[in-house]
Amino acid sequence: MLFCYHTPKVINNLKIKTMNEIASSRRTFLKKSSLLAIAGIAGPSVSSGFFTSHSMPESEVVDGEFTLPPLPYAYDALEPHLDKLTMEIHYTKHHQGYVNNLNKLVQENNIHATLDELVKNASKYPEGVRNNGGGHWNHSMFWKVMRPGGSSPSGKISSAIAGAFESLDNFQEKFASAASKRFGSGWAWLVRTPSGKLEIGSTPNQDNPLMDLSAFRGIPLLGLDVWEHAYYLKFYNKRGDYIREWWNVINWDQVAENLALAESNK
């Protein structure tokens, strides 16, 4: 979805509307959570295969439906690098939209599969399942590989990056190039390939390297959303500025955990 430039008055109205809707959603969520807690009900994790619940936000299936995983931090926690309003809209509108559409499609097509199964076997399902399942999976990972204040790579992930790209600076330069050159909407990725190498690439739309029909394959360790809705309110059309700011909020501990999980799934 493309955001065009809005005047401050329009943005303020949008913010008020968004906050009202968020407040309503929170009240509904708390009410349902209380009922589930009283009943002692817990939904099974939909994460399986390449990634466990430790590598993605807890995304549960409740009453047969996929649900939006909890955001690991407040909407304004990534300021000043990523702005609060964009985070609110990105999470509550875009990601929630993928979840809603996916639930509708799996019901209409009588599909019974985990999120990983939907993604890894994308060629077997309708295009809408591929798009919305990918959107749900990609964003569930995206929130986890960021954190307030960011961090620095260390230990095995630092050594792996140095071995594959000579230095962190070279890695960031190559990754930023892949993100900048992705034409239109899509994602940039750092993956571990089946041969055990670390590689950088990109995918269009909501595709990801786990999909059986993706031209770029591997187990995702780090992903960057370069759809315009991820940055347009703050950075307008300056994708490069967004990429530079994003480096300040990377959760390298999570990337290291993703690498460890990928290695354990040889």
Distance CA 262, CA 60 (A): 22
Give tens-digit pLDDT for 209-253.
Answer: 999 999 999 999 999 999 999 999 999 999 999 999 999 999 999
Structural domains of the chain, ranges and CATH numbers in brackets: 155-264 (3.55.40.20)
Dihedral pair phi/psi, residue 103, rounded to 5° = -60, -40
Better pLDDT: 48 or 10: 10
pLDDT digit string (tens) for 59-107?
A: 555 556 999 999 999 999 999 999 999 999 999 999 999 999 999 999 9
Note the pLDDT tens digit of each residue in 101-115: 999 999 999 999 999
Which carries the bigger pLDDT value, residue 72 or residue 7? 72
Residue 6, pLDDT score: 44
pLDDT at 254 over 90: yes
- Three-state DSSP state, 242: helix
Q: Give the whole-angstrom CA distance, residue 28 versus residue 35.
A: 11
- pLDDT tens-digit map of 148-183: 999 999 999 999 999 999 999 999 999 999 999 999
